[in-house]
Structure formats: C-alpha cells, structure tokens
C-alpha cells in the first residue's frame, strides 16, 4: 500500500531535549516536505527536499533541521525544542515537480513543556 509513515504519532517532551520525528514514503517520490499545522494558520511549510541531499527552507524553518540521505526518508530534527514548537506536524511527499498532488502522513502531535 502506498503510504507516508510518520513516527511517533504523539510525543510530549521537555524544553531543550533533542528529538527526531521520522518520515518514510514507499512511493519512490522525489519531493518531500514538512508542515506544521496550527489553529487559524493552516499548514505552513517548514522544510522541503527535491531529491537526495537537496533540502531548502520553507516559510517557518527556524528551530528545525532536516536531512535527506536516502530517497525514502526525511526526518525532522528539533535540536532544542521550545514550547512555541508545540504543534501538529505533517510529512508529505510528491512524485516531482509540476501538477502532482501531495500525499500526507497521519501527523505527529508534539507537545513541548
């Protein structure tokens, strides 16, 4: 089954404790991205990657890192999480450029206390 898998689904952590949210897709998509969803703000792009070893900042990259060492994986790293990073995070993948739709993971609800 074609899917985008995120882990964990729920995470509560403390300020400053490094964490990684994993994302994996099995569709051989070139393009992957991370979004955060906050009430009243919709989805905002954090980082995206157009292929292996190619990443770029989205609209709200501060406080986040990503890597794309393999085509299927695109982890999101919070080196020193802060409470303002409490949010619902989604990973998405697309076949490539142009009109292709995006496929989304189930989401990761992160709470930083």
Partner 1 sequence: GDSVTQMEGPVTLSEEAFLTINCTYTATGYPSLFWYVQYPGEGLQLLLKATKADDKGSNKGFEATYRKETTSFHLEKGSVQVSDSAVYFCALSDRNGQNFVFGPGTRLSVLP
Q: What is d(CA 59, CA 66) in angstroms, rounded to the nearest whole number?
A: 14
Q: Contact region for partner 1 (CB under 8 A) — 18-26, 33-41, 65-73, 74-82?
A: 33-41
| CB of residue 113 to partner 1, shortest distance in Å | 22
Peptide bond before residue 8 is cis, with ω within 30 degrees of 0? yes
Q: Contact region for partner 1 (CB under 8 A) — 21-29, 61-69, 70-78, 101-109?
A: 101-109
∠76-82-87 over CA atoms, to 5°?
60
Does 107 participate in binding partner 1 (rule CB under 8 A)? Answer: yes
Does 1 participate in binding partner 1 (rule CB under 8 A)? Answer: no
Does 104 participate in binding partner 1 (rule CB under 8 A)? Answer: yes
Q: Contact region for partner 1 (CB under 8 A) — 17-25, 36-44, 60-68, 74-82?
A: 36-44
In this structure, what token pair is assigned to residue 106?
């189930």
In this structure, what token pair is assigned to residue 36?
């955060």
Closer Cβ to partner 1, 85 or 108, answer by number: 108
Q: What is d(CA 72, CA 4) in angstroms, rounded to the nearest whole number?
A: 9
């Amino acid at each position: 089954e074609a899917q985008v898998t995120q882990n964990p689904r729920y995470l509560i952590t403390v300020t400053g404790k490094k964490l990684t949210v994993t994302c994996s897709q099995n569709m051989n998509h070139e393009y992957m991205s991370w979004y955060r969803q906050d009430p009243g703000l919709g989805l905002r792009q954090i980082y995206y990657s157009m292929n292996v070893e190619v990443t770029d900042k989205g609209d709200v990259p501060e406080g986040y890192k990503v890597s794309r060492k393999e085509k299927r994986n695109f982890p999101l790293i919070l080196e020193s999480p802060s409470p303002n990073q409490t949010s619902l995070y989604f990973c998405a993948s697309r076949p490539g450029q142009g009109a292709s739709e995006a496929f989304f993971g189930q989401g990761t609800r992160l709470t930083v206390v």
